[in-house]
Amino acid sequence: MNLREEDLTDETKTLISSLPSEKEYLGGNLCKYQGSWYYYNFLQGVLNVQRGFQPQDTDVIVASFPKCGTLWLKALTVALLERSKNRSSEDQHPLLSNNPHNLVPVLEMNLYRDTPKPDLTKLLSSSPRLFSTHMPYH
């Protein structure tokens, strides 16, 4: 399910109406929240992450600005983590058959955008869990 502007929670719609906004930037509306610009539907994901994400001590989070080498960072991180698992040369490395974007979900886009409580059980079986984000540190 892809979240549309009309699918935003009432709380998010109220918040958006109080924020500085830009109409129709590259096909979507933007609003400025905590010093950063977000598309409305991604803002819902950011809010859901801020409220509901419970990091574990072993989590690895790849954080970067959009369009500045995120795919490369994800691939390097997957390669490093797989190397530490002492895979034999006969095993198929995940990067041989998967795009790094498919292996490392984006918190605010892939996991929390459509729901405040995504099912992370399949990620719980792997340690460390690997995520990415474009949200700023603050």
Q: Could you report the per-residue pLDDT of 67-124, keeping only the tens digit for each?
A: 899 999 999 999 998 886 766 666 688 888 899 999 999 999 989 988 888 988 877 6
Would you say the C-alpha torsion 46, 42, 44, 129 has a positive or negative sign?
negative
- Considering the candidates 93, 101, 134, 138, report the single residue annotated as catalytic: 134
Q: pLDDT tens digits for 28-61?
A: 789 999 999 888 888 999 999 999 999 999 999 9
Interatomic CA distance for residues 123 and 126, integer angstroms: 6
**Residue 70 pLDDT:** 92
Rounded CA-CA distance 29/15 in Å is 14
Cβ atoms of residues 81 and 60 within 8 Å: yes
Q: What is the DSSP letter of 110?
A: I
Q: Mark whether 134 is an active-site residue.
A: yes
pLDDT of residue 16: 87
Q: What is the pLDDT of residue 4?
A: 58
